[in-house]
Structure 1
């Protein structure tokens, strides 16, 4: 049975469903929520903001906070605790780089609500990339 679960989370409904799935189906596991900031966007806003920040870690934590607040709400509804991790850069790479520290990755089928063409062009399909390259089992939640 999996004892350490990694749940990558952005601001999408699928990511919330993935966290709910992980908490409900792995009741005895330690769950870590990863939010990756500085991802490429059409206007490079978040990445540019991070590059201009005086303290990169503080700026990244501030950008991740809304996702973590929602994750904590979901965990509190189930009387569970979660750990939170801030990643910087490309989401798939950040997830895969941490994967060996976990037994399973649970992630949403689709990320933030960009157009499909924009998402594919800029960051690729994160779920597809992670499922192909992760060294641990991956559960994709729809």
Structure 2
């Protein structure tokens, strides 16, 4: 496998997303990395909370969350990382962003692949599974 030039790391406000960023930077030391702060619509099943917050405030908070992740990494790698934000359901916007921006690889933290939990059974597939199914590029999901 050829090392990717561009790697996308979506952030959804979940614990341990810093591990996905660290993995991407360590595994692909020559790649440019985009942290994509995804703002889930309030009516989506996995809303990040703050039901009464305005969309602009939620976008700002998502970008701040990604900036905090970036602050935790080694400074020498920080110049390879950009932060972008988008609003929408992660299973839709992550594959679209990856395709529209010629991303070579996606790295994310997720726990729902091959899940048979009650929540997944009743609500359908989880985000990581949906991203894997809809993204033509390789996707690495850390558990």
TM bucket normalised to smaller = 0.7 to 0.9
Matches within 5 A, 1:34-113: 34-39=36-41, 40-41=44-45, 45-46=49-50, 49-50=53-54, 56=55, 58-75=56-73, 77=74, 79-81=76-78, 82-100=81-99, 101-110=102-111
| CA RMSD, 1 decimal | 2.7
2:34–2:83 Cα contact (<8 Å) kept: yes
Residues in 2 aligned to 1:23 and 1:7: alpha-carbon distance in whole angstroms = 10
Distance 2:72 2:125 in 1: 27
Q: CA deviation at 1:60?
A: 4.1
- The 5 Å alignment of 1:7-46 reads 7-39=9-41, 40-41=44-45, 45-46=49-50
Q: 1:93 to 1:70 in 2, by over 3 A?
A: same
User: What runs of 5+ residues in structure 2 fail to find an aligned partner?
Assistant: none
Q: 1:96, CA displacement in angstroms?
A: 0.8
- The count of aligned residue pairs is 131
With the length of structure 1 as denominator, give the TM-score of the two structures.
0.76
Change (3 A) 1:90 1:120: farther
TM-score, scaled to structure 2 = 0.75
Please give the alpha-carbon distance, in whole angstroms, between the structure 2 residues aligned to 1:19 and 1:95: 15
Secondary structure in 1 matching 2:77: coil
Distance in 2 separating the partners of 1:42 and 1:126: 9
Structure 1, gaps ≥5 residues long: 51-55
More helix by share: 1
Task: Give 1:19 deviation, angstroms.
Answer: 0.9
